[in-house]
């Protein structure tokens, strides 16, 4: 059985969708939330949707301690505070998969625009904030939360993965590839997240124009 994965913000749309899909793929999931009761309630909902899945729900620090790989899926306005609170819980050799997008909506701006982050990207801000030894990989910015949550929908798109260590990206890619219809694509070092995080507002713009839930696929790859 694969190692458990913790999803901080697993009560939100994207986090919950990832929990469902990964849970269905046989990955034990611990949903984390600031509110332990809400986390448990989300785990119950997930279990109801995917009865064969292994779902738990806990307050963030406990949830994070229980997993080697932590997916951070919170709105940009909460990213910094969440990471500050998680610092004591994050330990050596943990992998933090950051899915944060610095949408201008965080400061009442448009969802088709982003904020400039001093470090370059939300993922690089996360890397600056986590304790030494914790590595950040950036992923999951282009997959629609609604399509992940709709388990009848057959996915057919890519997840763009950025990170500084090949073995960390391989670990995240292995997780991505467990989900039917998703393919992980290595996009280079973590600094490339400043580009990949921009894809979300672009897809939002395409969605609005075409009344769809768009995703991204990289053409020309051999796999």
Residues forming the site for its own copies (CB under 8 A): 112-113, 144, 147, 156-157, 160, 185-188, 191-192, 194-196, 198-199, 201-203, 205-206, 208-210, 212-222
Take residue 108 and report the two structure tokens written for it: 């009442």
Residue 46 CB, shortest distance to its own copies, in Å, is: 24
For its own copies, give the closer residue by CB, 78 or 164.
Answer: 164
CA 140 to chain centre: 5
Least spacing, CB of residue 180 vs its own copies, in Å: 14
Tell me whether residue 42 or residue 101 sits nearer to its own copies (CB atom).
101
Considering beta carbons, is residue 25 or 206 the nearer one to its own copies?
A: 206
How many other CB atoms are there within 10 angstroms of residue 162's CB atom? 28
Across-strand partners of 5?
Answer: 29, 69
CB 37 to its own copies: min, Å: 35
SS3 state of residue 214:
coil
Query: What does the angle CA 13 – CA 29 – CA 174 come to, to the nearest 5 degrees?
Result: 95
Contact by Cβ (8 Å): 155, 181:
yes
Q: Which of 11, 144 has the CB closer to its own copies?
A: 144
Mapped onto helix, strand or coil, the DSSP state of residue 92 is coil
For residue 170, the minimal CB distance to its own copies (Å) is 13
Question: Torsion over CA of 83, 87, 92 and 95, rounded to 10 degrees?
Answer: -20
Q: What angle do CA 106, 109, 112 make, to 5 degrees?
A: 95
The smaller minimum CB distance to its own copies, of residues 72 and 182, is found at 182
DSSP class per residue in 139-184: --SSS-HHHHH-TTS---EEEEEEES-HHHHHHHHHHHHHSTTEEE
The CA distance from 94 to 133, in Å, is 8
Closest CB to its own copies among 35 and 156?
Answer: 156
Q: How far is the CB of 114 from its own copies (least distance, A)?
A: 8
**Least distance (Å) from its own copies to the CB of residue 189?**
8
């Amino acid at each position: 059985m694969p190692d458990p994965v913790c999803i901080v913000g697993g009560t939100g749309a994207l986090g919950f969708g990832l929990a469902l899909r990964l849970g269905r793929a046989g990955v034990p999931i611990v949903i984390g939330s600031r509110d332990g009761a809400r986390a448990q309630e989300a785990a119950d909902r997930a279990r109801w949707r995917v009865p064969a899945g292994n779902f738990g729900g806990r307050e963030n620090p406990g949830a994070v301690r229980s997993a080697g790989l932590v997916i951070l899926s919170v709105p940009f306005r909460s990213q910094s505070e969440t990471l500050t609170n998680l610092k004591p819980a994050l330990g050596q050799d943990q992998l933090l998969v950051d899915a944060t997008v610095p949408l201008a909506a965080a400061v009442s701006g448009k969802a088709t625009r982003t904020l400039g982050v001093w470090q370059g990207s939300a993922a690089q801000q996360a890397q600056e904030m986590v304790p030494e030894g914790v590595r950040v990989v950036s992923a999951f910015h282009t997959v629609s939360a609604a399509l992940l949550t709709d388990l009848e929908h057959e996915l057919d798109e890519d997840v763009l993965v950025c990170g500084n260590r090949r073995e960390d990206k391989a670990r995240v890619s292995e997780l991505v590839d467990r989900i039917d219809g998703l393919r992980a694509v290595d996009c280079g070092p973590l600094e490339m997240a400043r580009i990949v995080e921009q894809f979300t507002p672009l897809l939002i713009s395409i969605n609005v124009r075409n009344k769809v839930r768009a995703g991204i696929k990289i053409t020309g790859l051999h796999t």
